[in-house]
Chains A and B, each alone.
Chain A
Amino acid sequence: MTLPEAQPVARSGAIYDLGYQGYDGPRLGRPAAIATLFWSSWRSAFGLGRSGRAKIVPWGLTVLALLPAAVAVGITALVGDAVQPFTYDNYLPQIAITLSLFVAAQAPELVGGDQRNHVLSLYFSHAIQRIDYAAAKLGALTAALLVLTLLPQLVLFAGKVLSATDVLSAFGNEVPKLLQILVSSLLYSLTLAVIGLAIAAFTPRRSFATGGIIAFFLVTAIVGQILTRMDSGEVSRYAQLIDVDRVLAGVTHALFGGPGIQGGGGGEGGGAAIPELAGMIYIGTLIAVLVVGIGVIVQRYRRVQA
């Protein structure tokens, strides 16, 4: 194809030479490149800038995560404080399955395509380093999950404050809870993102990654529950640590107290019978999970062929 040459226009006296222009402006370097990758990945986690089809799953799951909070607030507004199905202590365990599904669906979206289509070699030949890529993707998935974890709890918070007869004093009562809301959301989001990416980073195939992540959450939850219920000895007490949701619930409970751990298997109520462990054990387990998961991701991107 021959390109239309920039033609000097003499008639009107104005000359439009649209020849190639160099670029002498600023080059923002590594930090800006990382920020770009972070935001574009966050957007892709919700299918923004993609086709409508890419939005169905992430938006559907986001609505699903928000729905219980919205309904609870609605009920409270209608019938008053009598029924309070959700507290800040049990909301995240209640939507744990939704969160896992979001990770299973969107973690491969963030990293699979780059490997499948060999876009990685372009990324690694731009103004970032390999570890920056891993960090931006992990940050983006965590931030995407924050929408699903933080937003409904803030809705609960707003509902509690605004439905009170004395809004100001209610606000004063609830404000200390903001720290719990923030920290628990962050812990859930980061942990699920780390696990999801650690699995998704190993395959360019979307179906494998999604299946692998679902299998991981299912198997750990089921094995954890079975071992826990088999007998009541030491084994069963520690077996609950296999279940990530249970560990997260345990950590939240250890940090902020509350009426007891409700995690495990989506919180269908069976968790009450499981004896609790010392808070430090949950915290230690979570730290180990995060360290191993992040280590796996970093190693993977240090070695992956580009």
Chain B
Amino acid sequence: MPLISANALTKRYSAGVTALDGLTLDVEPGIIGLVGANGAGKSTLIKILLGLIKPTSGSVSVMDMDVATQGTQIRQFVGYLPEHDCLPTDLSATDFVSHMGRMAGLPADAARERTAEVLRHVGLYEERYRAIGGYSTGMKQRVKLAQALVHDPKLLLLDEPTNGLDPAGRDEMLDLVKRTGSEFGIATIVASHLLGEIERVCNFLLAIDGGKLLRAAPLASFTEQTGTLAIDVEDGAETLVRRLGDHGLTATLDGASVLVDLPNADPYDVVRDTVDELGLRLLRLEQRRHRLEDLFAERTTGEAADDAA
């Protein structure tokens, strides 16, 4: 059963902005990173999954339930951490989280018990009896995570969970998210515009850009090794490029590094001998890995090429 299944999902806002443009995807449970620049449609997708906004066209189901017709049913099993503030100031964390548990359909006793448990999980102790209005940003973010977890959701939707946190707070929040997803086995979607964060916690990636699906694949495939060898030498990179070309290798200069396409045959010996022949000092020799940034960079260059053509 796919966790989320969207078909030609489109959302146009009245101002003429297209937030989602025919998005079609199937997502299996896991810790899923939803990446894209600001305005790529991440929050819109999450809000549609929750039924907070209605799609202009297309359909989407969560856990085999149709968002359009079974919204309340779905929302009993979904936890949501919005990107903006969403906490009352005059209630204590205990009262608020327990209230939200009951809003998700838990009986009063169960809501109380689970509130104590999730607040301990997110690391709020004595301060949980104080009014939320006096909390720091980090503590508020923990309360937001706690209220999303209190009803033991099957799906957790986290929209920019590290919003407004300092570096230490970010680390703690990301650890919490990772623990929640991997140890508790709750399917989690983390929306973020920070690729570094996604890389740390997720095992599957959804990249969207301009409301379209760019790529959906396991995280490993985004960062797998490429067919490029990077060589750093102290001086004479240009000479090396020329000489490698003489030896029949496709070499290019990328900043200070020399990049060599890896053909089927191993070029390592040729590279080593050539460097030695030229008397260059070899600093580094490594097979390049894709970085997440390349994903968006490739698309940009691709578009530029399209424009030129």
Question: What CA separation (Å) do A255 and B97 show in the bound complex?
Answer: 46
A118–B117 contact, CB under 8 A?
A: no
B105–A129 contact, CB under 8 A?
A: no
B107–A123 contact, CB under 8 A?
A: no
Contact flags A8-46 to B (C-beta < 8 A → 1, else 0): 000000000011111101111110110011001000000
Name B106's contact: one of A3, A28, A121 (CB within 8 Å). A28
Residues of A in contact (CB 8 Å), total 38
**Given A125-B52, A125-B75, A37:B103 Cβ within 8 A:** yes
B90–A113 contact, CB under 8 A?
A: yes
B:34-85 near A, CB below 8 Å: 50-52, 71-73, 75-78, 80, 82, 84-85
Contacts of A23 in B (CB 8 A): 106, 110, 114, 151-152
Closest chain-B Cβ to A116's Cβ sits at a distance in Å of: 9
Closest chain-A Cβ to B61's Cβ sits at a distance in Å of: 17
Question: What CA separation (Å) do A26 and B151 show in the bound complex?
Answer: 11
Contacts of B85 in A (CB 8 A): 117-118
Name B107's contact: one of A26, A37, A122 (CB within 8 Å). A26
Contacts of A40 in B (CB 8 A): 99
CB-CB nearest in chain B for A23 = B152
Instruction: Tell me if B261 counts as interface (CB < 8 A to partner A).
Output: no
Name A122's contact: one of B51, B82, B110 (CB within 8 Å). B82
Closest chain-A Cβ to B48's Cβ sits at a distance in Å of: 11
A33–B86 contact, CB under 8 A?
A: no
Contacts of A127 in B (CB 8 A): 72, 75-76, 103-105
Contacts of A50 in B (CB 8 A): 90-91
Contacts of A21 in B (CB 8 A): 117
A:279-299 near B, CB below 8 Å: none
**Given A1-B172, A121-B52, A128-B72, A36:B121 Cβ within 8 A:** no
Contacts of A37 in B (CB 8 A): 103
Instruction: Tell me if B269 counts as interface (CB < 8 A to partner A).
Output: no
**Given A20-B183, A117-B87, A123:B52 Cβ within 8 A:** no
Name B78's contact: one of A19, A26, A125 (CB within 8 Å). A125
Instruction: Tell me if B137 counts as interface (CB < 8 A to partner A).
Output: no
Question: What CA separation (Å) do A267 and B106 show in the bound complex?
Answer: 48
Interface of chain A, helix or strand or loop or mixed?
A: loop
A125–B50 contact, CB under 8 A?
A: yes
Contact flags B95-122 to A (C-beta < 8 A → 1, else 0): 1000110111111001000100100110
Question: What CA separation (Å) do A40 and B99 show in the bound complex?
Answer: 8
B80–A125 contact, CB under 8 A?
A: yes
Instruction: Tell me if B88 counts as interface (CB < 8 A to partner A).
Output: yes
Name B147's contact: one of A19, A33, A122, A129 (CB within 8 Å). A122
CB-CB nearest in chain B for A117 = B88
Question: What CA separation (Å) do A33 and B51 show in the bound complex?
Answer: 17
**Given A20-B184, A40-B99, A121-B52, A126:B104 Cβ within 8 A:** yes
Instruction: Tell me if A277 counts as interface (CB < 8 A to partner B).
Output: no
Question: What CA separation (Å) do A240 and B131 show in the bound complex?
Answer: 46
* Interface CB pairs A-B, < 8 A, 14: A1-B123, A19-B183, A20-B121, A22-B184, A32-B105, A36-B99, A117-B85, A119-B87, A121-B80, A121-B86, A124-B50, A124-B51, A127-B72, A128-B72
- In the complex, besides A33-B103, A117-B89, A127-B103, 18 extra interface pairs with C-beta distance below 8 angstroms are A20-B121, A20-B183, A22-B184, A25-B110, A27-B105, A28-B105, A33-B104, A36-B102, A36-B103, A113-B90, A118-B86, A119-B86, A125-B50, A125-B52, A125-B80, A126-B100, A127-B72, A127-B76
Considering the complex of A and B, which 7 residue pairs feature the smallest CB-CB distances, nearest first?
Answer: A23-B152, A27-B105, A126-B103, A36-B102, A125-B50, A125-B80, A28-B105
